[in-house]
Amino acid sequence: MSRRGIVVSVVAAAGLVAAMYHGSSLMAAQQAAEYGTGEARAIAEEMLQAFSAGDYAAFSVEFTGAYRETLDEAAFEAWREPLAASLGAYGGIVEESDPKQTSTGATRYTFHASFDGDDRVQFVFVTKPGTRAINRVELKPDK
């Protein structure tokens, strides 16, 4: 192999290594931004207990700033009151699904919980892409 061929091969190999490193570091950063299964369940438990107690501060502690503005305390109460009246007291998480990546890069965590008035309620929280901050919450009977 000529000297030029060796230089081209070395440069190409260095570029490949750099690309692989960059890709693996992006993947590592995304994985670090996701909650582990036990962490996500603990967050869901805390949020559902706070929902049942009407404790907005505890319910919203993991929210992004923008989502906290969207679902402020008044909006939380307006959303919570009819749900809490029909669901009753929170009982616990009965099932959880594997986290799912959305098309936007967000991570969706889904749980099924029991309440006194309904033994199967779906609770979902979605994190902002690349972070652990919650930017959407859903709570509804699972029919």
Residues 52, 121: one domain?
yes
Nearest to 108, CA basis, from 94, 128, 78, 88:
128
Residue 126 is which amino acid? V
Give the whole-angstrom CA distance, residue 33 versus residue 58. Answer: 21
Helix ranges, the chain (H) = 3-33, 37-53, 56-59, 65-70, 73-87
User: How many domains is the chain built from?
Assistant: 2
Based on the fold, state whether residues 2 and 63 are members of the same structural domain: no
Q: Say whether both 28 and 83 belong to one domain.
A: no
pLDDT, one tens digit per residue, over 93-139 is 999 999 999 999 999 999 999 999 999 999 999 999 989 999 999 99
Do residues 29 and 43 share a domain?
no
Looking at the fold, whether 107 and 42 belong to one and the same domain comes out as: yes
Indicate the range of 8-17, 29-38, 68-77, 120-129 predicted with least confidence.
Answer: 8-17
44 and 98 both lie in a single domain: yes
Number of CB atoms found within 10 A of residue 29's CB: 10
Instruction: For residue 105, give the H/E element and its range.
Output: none
What range does the domain containing 135 cover?
36-141
Answer yes or no: do 83 and 18 share one domain: no
Shared-domain flag, residues 68 and 24: no
| Pair (84, 105) in one structural domain | yes
The CA distance from 110 to 90, in Å, is 16
Q: Are residues 81 and 105 in the same domain?
A: yes
Q: Which residues of 74-107 are buried (b: 16+ CB within 10 A; e: fewer)?
A: eebeeebeebbeebeebbebeebeebeeeeeebb
- Whether 136 contacts 127, CB under 8 Å: no
Instruction: Tell me, yes or no, whether 18 and 47 share the same domain.
Output: no
CATH value at residue 51: 3.10.450.590
Model confidence over 53-71: pLDDT tens digits? 999 999 999 999 999 999 9
Same domain, 21 and 52: no
